[in-house]
Amino acid sequence: MKAITRSWDWHSVYPAPAKLNLFLHVVGRRADGYHLLQTVFRLVDHGDALRFSSRADGDVRLATPLPGVAPESDLTVRAARLLQRETGCRQGVEIAVDKRLPMGGGLGGGSSDAATVLLALNHLWQLGLPRQRLQQIGLTLGADVPVFVGGRNAFAEGVGEALQPLDLPPAWYVVLEPPVAVPTAAIFGAPELVRDTPAMLAADWAPGVGSNDLQAVAVARFPVVADYLHWLAAYGDARMSGSGACVFAEFSHQQAAQAVVSALPATMVGWVAAGLERHPLCALAE
């Protein structure tokens, strides 16, 4: 382990940053129904925070269950139990999540939480699994989990698991949270969704290239998303992240981004976050 990992222990607060999809194209569909995508994942300095407490009984408990979500179905619990099964680990854990990212927001909150569980417990339980193995385990939990475990901004293909790390320029983002949870399955299952956008080479992508093929479907079904996009478009290139509902715009300077959030109507929720070069827990896996 690198020396930096010694600063992470059972008393630490482990971050689970959000992601933004700088573009998202649906380029096909597999025989099993899964959609083939191309996207760029950008990690940002805003997200959930997790704490872990050791349990001697080998059980996995969630101290902060989400309303309407059974603990057994929560991605954090599933990630910890899957890690136990994959390694034969008999240690237990209680997980507490400070949930700051909205559900159904397209920011990868649940997937990021699961990735943080895998990275943190691999370290705390001293399991020693390499990053690639953690990514394979994470993929069984969700297509977005591997990019968070990978710890780098990335050009992604396949169902989102084939990752090519990207070095992205510094940037600041205004992210707005429409008051609606958009169900991913409903967007991908929409008959009007464009599923044949021509694929591009990763080398041909540059910031600003591409769009979000899911945006038109989400806007038609959830008009409030359109309202938030319209408001933000007055200040920059407003786009939806993932399958929605959250929308964002990129800025070169923090002051410009802060000025936009300062202009938000009292009825809207939004925040500013810096783009990250790496996941804060990147050093916990090799």
Q: Which residues are catalytic?
A: 19, 144
Dist CA 29 CA 80 (whole Å): 31
Whole-angstrom Cα distance, residue 220 to residue 137? 35
Strand order across the 172-176 sheet: 239-240, 247-251, 172-176, 270-274
For residue 245, whether the previous peptide bond is cis, meaning omega lies within 30 degrees of 0, is yes
116: left (phi over 0), alpha (psi -120 to 50) or beta: alpha
**If you write DSSP's letter for every residue of 186-233 in order, what string do you get?**
HHHT-TT----PPP--GGG--TT---BTTHHHHHHH-HHHHHHHHHHH
Alpha-carbon distance 107 to 247, whole Å?
Answer: 9
> CB neighbours (10 Å) of residue 68?
7
DSSP letter assigned to residue 7 = G
Q: Which two tokens stand for residue 104?
A: 């159904």
